Amino acid sequence: MPLKLSDLSVGDVYSEEVCNNLSRTQIVQYAGTSGDYNPLHSDEIFTTQVAGYPSVFAHGMLSMGMTGRMLTNYVGDGRLTAYGVRFTAQVFPGATLTASATIDAIREENGEHFIDLSVSTQDSEGVEVIKGQASARVDA
Amino acid sequence: MAVDKFPIEAGHIMMFARSIGDANPIYYDEDYAKGTEPGGVVAPPTFVQASAQFDPDYFLRPKIGQEWFGSAKGPTGITPKEGGGSGGGSGGGLHAEQHYVYHKPLVAGDTLTATVKPGKSWEKEGRRGGKLMFSESVTEYRDLTGDLVVTATSVGVRTERPATS
């Protein structure tokens, strides 16, 4: 359901757990659908022995996609006008992530109403893995 | 990534939504989707990333008959060059930022084209990985009528050595 202007205030926060104990299989699933088969995300032998990382890790775009689910659940389908993130830390198998959106501004443009959100996704230790912003159209 | 023809297919959207853990029926149930504001099955906000599937040259997909840098018999499938380095490597940098601007809903049945323009590039001294080299690319996704659907700005970073957080 789209959001309604009269129900919204600057500072409102919406959050959702977007993954719990992230599996290597889900990372493989994302490789298959996105088409990004970089072995850093699925090939433990290559990643530890050649690339020098402690383990395979999730595509940044998987974390962005999971965080996007929180956004569309909050603002409604087809309402996002912008969504951008920085990948601030790697996400390893076993991660449990919580994504949240905070209303920074409510504005009007050409008779339509929009909210600007800051977006943050953190792991269970409070490490921020995604930091971003989004905007969405809301109902008057 | 530049793509001549990116068909927005309902089955692909369903599988993509599953892979990001999103059970919203608007991504797979046409009857449900008809009753929603967009009026049909739409793609999740990060779906255009999957245009890589339709880029014939996408370098992070194994190609028939070519060596692949992931492990096989050995930890990398790349044959070391004579007198050259160890082979392998991190596969061309990491994704630092991604930004989307949405101009109109992306609906199953659409066909998009993607054109890429280079953006800025810059360097920064990193805390853990040595020097960081950033570069930006801007991809415009348009439908068959030429309307802009999504603008995607991607920032990649290359590090001198593996950067773990």
CA distances from A87 to A101, B38, B71, B77, B157 (A): 16, 30, 26, 29, 11
Phi, psi of A51 (to 5 degrees): -85, -20
At residue B87, the pLDDT reads 40
Q: What percent of chain A has pLDDT over 70?
A: 100
User: Which among B36, B46, B161 has CB closest to A61?
Assistant: B46
- Chain B nearest-CA distance from A26, in A, is 6
Residue in this structure with the two tokens 């339509």, named with its chain if needed: A112
Residues sharing a CB contact under 8 Å with residue A59, sequence separation 6 or more, in sequence order: A27, A30, A31, A34, A36, A38, A41, B95
Q: Is the ipTM value over 0.90, yes or no?
A: yes
Domain ranges of chain B: 3-56+90-159
Partners of residue A97 in chain B, C-beta under 8 Å = none
pTM for the whole structure: 0.93
Contact: A82, B36; criterion CB under 8 Å: no
At residue A68, the pLDDT reads 98
Q: How confident is the model at residue B88 (pLDDT cuts 50, 70, 90)?
A: very low
- Written out in words, the top-level CATH class of the domain with range A5-138 is alpha beta
Alpha carbon distance B55, B49 (integer Å): 11
Q: Which two tokens mark B33? A: 């989707």
Q: Which amino acid, A87?
A: F
Fold observed for domain B3-56+90-159: Thiol Ester Dehydrase; Chain A (3.10.129)
Closest to B95 (Cα-Cα) out of A40, A136, A28: A40
